[in-house]
């Protein structure tokens, strides 16, 4: 049977966001701009960045997602995520390793409602006509400088977005339990480009991905439209095998 992850999440569990109500209301983010980059990573990281509830993709992949939301219930914010491509059972997913956001109120929303492992940092999405750039600066240090080069228009429906699997703590029978929370955002895309992905600066330690770095470029897309963070429907027990792990909320 397929490979499964070997990441022991117990060390991360204590600091994982506590989500008290996974069935939170959807959060609509109109006019959002979204940069997505995909890279292959070294196969030495094929299984060690994922918990046993998830299968790695073959080849192993790393996704960089940067979302700028100009309007939201807590004002504008920009969110950067680094995720590891995976499968939950047979379903394509991405395990969120680390996220940064430039807005304290948005950090609170994302952590408490959807379990994003997100902390505040300077996050910039800089769309230009010949490229789209993104940067993350943490405590004055640049930890991500990436982008899309050579944009060409495509149909937004050609872009695939993978639902997140976020490591969270929830309450079960009066006690805390660790789960993966599936965040299956909805994308209503108005305009989209694709191009070549680049990552000139990537500090693995800042993104909780061991020594993994973006190694082989796969694809890049930049889209504008409405992104809606959903009501959560599924959880997974990270320590169980994939076919035994999934639970309905």
Partner 1 sequence: MKFGIFFEISVPRPWEAETEYQVYQNCLEQVRVADELGFDQVWAVEHHFLEEYSHCSAPEIFLTAAAMLTKQIRIGLGIVVCVPQINNPIKIAERTATMDLITGGRLEVGTGRSATWTELGGFGVDPDTTKKTWDEFVRILPKMWTQERFGYEGESFSMPQRAILPKPLQKPHPPMWVAVTSPGTEIDAADRGLGSLGLTFGGFAEQETKVAEYRRRIKYCNPVGSFVNEQVNTVNFLFCHPDNETGVKTGLRLAGTFNYMAEQLLAARQAYPTRSYPNLGLLPALRRESTAPGADGGAPEGTCIGNPERIIQVLKNWESVGVDRVNFLLNAVETVPQEEVLASLRLFASEVMPKFASTRPVVSAGAGAI
Q: Which residues bind partner 1 (CB under 8 A)?
A: 1-3, 38, 40, 55, 57-59, 61, 85, 87, 89-92, 154-155, 158-160, 162, 192, 194, 216, 218-219, 221
**Measured from the CB atom, is 170 or 223 closer to partner 1?**
223
Cα dihedral sign, 196-92-99-101: positive
Task: Tell me whether residue 70 or residue 89 sits nearer to partner 1 (CB atom).
Answer: 89
Nearest to 65 by CA among 113, 99, 91, 93: 99
Closest separation in Å from C-beta 222 to partner 1: 10
Instruction: CB nearer to partner 1: give 159 or 183.
Output: 159
Burial bucket for residue 228 (CB in 10 Å: 0-12, 13-18, 19+)? middle
| Per-residue burial over 50-63, b = 16 or more CB atoms within 10 Å of its CB, e = otherwise | bbbbbbbbeebbbb
Compute the least distance from the CB of residue 92 to partner 1, in Å. Answer: 6
The partner residues of 234 in beta bridges, in order of sequence, read 248
- Decide whether 31 or 156 has the Cβ nearer to partner 1: 156
User: Least distance to partner 1 from the beta carbon of 135, Å?
Assistant: 23
* Distance of closest approach, residue 75 Cβ to partner 1, in angstroms: 30
Q: Which residue in 142, 128, 119, 139 sits closest to 35, CA to CA?
A: 128
């Amino acid at each position: 049977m397929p490979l499964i992850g070997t990441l022991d999440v117990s060390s991360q569990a204590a600091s994982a966001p506590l989500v008290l109500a996974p069935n939170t209301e959807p959060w609509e983010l109109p006019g959002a701009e979204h940069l997505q980059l995909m890279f292959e990573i070294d196969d030495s990281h094929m299984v060690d960045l994922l918990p046993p509830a998830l299968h790695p993709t073959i080849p192993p992949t790393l996704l960089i997602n940067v979302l700028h939301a100009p309007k939201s219930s807590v004002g504008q914010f920009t969110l950067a995520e680094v995720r590891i491509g995976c499968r939950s059972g047979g379903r394509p997913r991405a395990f969120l390793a680390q996220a940064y956001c430039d807005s304290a109120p948005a950090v609170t929303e994302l952590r408490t409602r959807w379990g994003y492992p997100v902390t505040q940092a300077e996050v910039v999405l800089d769309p230009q006509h010949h490229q789209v750039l993104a940067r993350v600066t943490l405590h004055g240090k640049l930890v991500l400088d990436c982008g899309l080069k050579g944009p060409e228009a495509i149909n937004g429906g050609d872009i695939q977005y993978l639902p997140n699997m976020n490591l969270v703590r929830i309450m079960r029978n009066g006690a805390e339990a660790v789960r993966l929370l599936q965040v299956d955002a909805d994308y209503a895309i108005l305009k989209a480009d694709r191009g070549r992905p680049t990552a000139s600066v990537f500090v693995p330690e800042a993104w909780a991905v061991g020594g993994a770095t973006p190694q082989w470029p796969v694809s890049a897309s930049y889209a504008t439209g409405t992104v809606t963070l959903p009501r959560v429907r599924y959880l997974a027990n990270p320590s169980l095998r994939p076919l035994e792990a999934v639970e309905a909320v």
